[in-house]
Amino acid sequence: MKITFTARSPAEPDALVVGAFADRVLSAAAGEIDGQTGGALTRAMSASRFTGASEQFVDVVAPAALKAARVVLAGLGKPGTIDELGVQNLGGSLVAHLNRVGAKRAAVIFDGWSDGGKISAPALAANLAYGARLRSYRFAKYRTKEKPESKPTLAALTVVAPGPRQAQAVFGRLDRVADGVFFTRDLVSEPANVIYPVTLTAQAKTLSGLGVDVEVLTEARMRKLGMNAILGVGQGSSRESRLVVMRWSGAPKRSKEPLLAFVGKGVTFDTGGISIKPAGGMEDMKWDMGGAGAVIGLMKALAGRRAKIDVVGVVGLVENMPSASAQRPGDVVTSMSGQTIEIINTDAEGRLVLADALWYCQSRFKPRFMVDLATLTGAIIVALGKYQAGVFSNDDALADKLVAAGQAVGEPVWRMPLGERYDKDINSDIADVKNVGKNREAGSITAAQFLLRFVNETPWAHLDIAGMAWSKADTGTVPKGGTGFGVRLLDRLIADNYEK
């Protein structure tokens, strides 16, 4: 979908989109069209349930006296209330609407939408386009027999707004973030016979084209470093494990700040291993690399928009399979940290991957902070559902920043507790730590406590995104499937707090 900004209406869009505020108050442009069409918009509003509430749409098809095939009236809510997220969602819903009705070229007349609000018209217009682009994502490469009538139609979206150059400039940056989100969605959507540690590594390597330095640790190298926790998870698979280190160095030369670190769980398929999962829904476990996918997409976003900051992304990539060579319940492994781990349940594998990845990251890079992302526990879905991720942290300031960034981009995260009593639940009788807690109690917390044992004094936060990496329903800016959750959140965390 091609997105452009102009100050004047293009000659012949086939869909003309205009706004109406709450209580059916037409915007200036809408009022003009209403006049030209003999009051068709006013009649359409009263003939429908359209009140002008946000994200409502009503169409006037084949209006007399206009070249456009349809006029779409879009609800804006009360004047001055539409904000960044609201307008992103409007852009997203609009794209879905236009594709549903078969529009090919649409123009949105953005006039006075921002009046009385806090955000400038060009910035809001850019965010409308950003939402539109985010929603336009599709993963269709394996559909070979799709009927033309079920394919999306919208090929071009023109945003007619004041300050088109400024809007374009703001959008340019957001568009690079969307590139990162799309990359994550692609990686998460790919099946596990296509994306496994070696091929996911190859995908990460494509970022070197944007100036990201990509370094790959093979199993031999990992073994030398003592990463037996991660290697143990991968040992049942015929696919080799990998650890990938991606570095973006965008900080001004004089900057002496330590870099920021992001660590991702990349289990390219999680069968559970010998503690095998039930068959129903197991296909979902292709997206158990959603944390790694988000870190890779984040690196793409940061490099794409030339972020002025030094960042490292570390992803641990393994496939968790049952086989004759698979790790057994009861096995004890010595992690890179030197701590021994008793494996009680081979399905609690993500924390084993992260244990070595976190330890490696903090000892090698001494980062300013580490944030890990992982589809770590079903228990976080029990606790929070599929509306927000859990955040666990040893640093209140970092946790607060993550919560704020999540609010700002519409990827909410909810602070979860840590504590000594949970920590005790993972003491092992024969090793330093075991990989599960008591029964199923506080499952997402004991998982986070496990990670904390592999973090020293480094400020750290863990995002349990098990409920967020995949969606079964379309929402504003996120079509169903891989969501790319985490990319926008962490891009915003960095932009708002750390970039100079």
Binding site partner of 345, from Mn ion, Zn ion, ligand BES, none, Cβ cut-off 5-8 A by kind: ligand BES
Pairing of strands 70-75, 57-61: antiparallel
14 binds Mn ion (CB under 5 A): no
| CA 362 – CA 382 distance, rounded (Å) | 31
Tokens standing for 168?
């374009």
Q: How far is the CB of 465 from ligand BES (least distance, A)?
A: 9
Q: How far is the CB of 423 from ligand BES (least distance, A)?
A: 16
| CA 133 – CA 346 distance, rounded (Å) | 40
3-class DSSP string for 147-162: CHHHCCCCCEEEEECC
The catalytic position among 70, 105, 351, 434 is 351
CA distances from 189 to 280, 313, 471, 491 (A): 19, 21, 11, 21
**Counting Cβ atoms within 10 Å, is residue 432 exposed (0-12), middle (13-18) or buried (19+)?**
middle
DSSP state of 276: P
Q: How far is the CB of 467 from ligand BES (least distance, A)?
A: 7
Q: Footprint of Mn ion on residues 263-282 (CB under 5 A)?
A: 270
Work out the number of other CB atoms within 10 angstroms of the CB of residue 148. Answer: 6
Q: Which residue has the tokens 């596990």?
A: 192
Q: Footprint of Mn ion on residues 334-353 (CB under 5 A)?
A: 347, 349
* Nearest CB to ligand BES, comparing residues 87 and 348: 348
Contact positions vs ligand BES (CB under 6 A): 270, 288, 345, 347-350, 375-379, 436, 443, 466
Q: Which residue has the tokens 């949970």?
A: 422
Binding site partner of 372, from Mn ion, Zn ion, ligand BES, none, Cβ cut-off 5-8 A by kind: none
Q: How far is the CB of 233 from ligand BES (least distance, A)?
A: 10
31 CB-side CA count, 13 A:
8
351 labelled catalytic: yes
* Nearest CB to ligand BES, comparing residues 121 and 447: 447
219 binds Mn ion (CB under 5 A): no
Tokens standing for 319?
């496939």
Pairing of strands 413-415, 389-393: parallel
Binding site partner of 436, from Zn ion, Mn ion, ligand BES, none, Cβ cut-off 5-8 A by kind: ligand BES
Q: How far is the CB of 439 from Mn ion (least distance, A)?
A: 17
* Nearest CB to Mn ion, comparing residues 26 and 445: 445
* Nearest CB to ligand BES, comparing residues 450 and 460: 450
Contact positions vs Zn ion (CB under 5 A): 267, 270, 288, 350
* Nearest CB to Mn ion, comparing residues 14 and 349: 349
Q: How far is the CB of 290 from Zn ion (least distance, A)?
A: 10
Which residue has the closest beta carbon to ligand BES?
A: 378
Binding site partner of 310, from Mn ion, Zn ion, ligand BES, none, Cβ cut-off 5-8 A by kind: none
Residues 6+ apart with CB under 8 A from 175: 3, 130, 133
* Nearest CB to ligand BES, comparing residues 311 and 433: 433
Closest CA to 296 of 317, 320, 318: 317
Binding site partner of 379, from Zn ion, Mn ion, ligand BES, none, Cβ cut-off 5-8 A by kind: ligand BES
CA distances from 321 to 214, 290, 330, 386, 466 (A): 27, 18, 17, 27, 19
Which residue has the closest beta carbon to Mn ion?
A: 347
**Residue ranges of the alpha helices (H) in 162-251?**
164-189, 197-205, 219-225, 228-234
Q: How far is the CB of 271 from Zn ion (least distance, A)?
A: 9
Contact mark string toward Mn ion, 443..462, x via CB under 5 A: --------------------
464 binds Mn ion (CB under 5 A): no
Work out the number of other CB atoms within 10 angstroms of the CB of residue 436. Answer: 21
The catalytic position among 173, 277, 386, 415 is 277
* Nearest CB to Mn ion, comparing residues 319 and 349: 349
DSSP state of 47: T
Give the residue numbers annotated as catalytic, written as ranges.
277, 351
Residues that bind Mn ion (CB under 5 A): 270, 347, 349
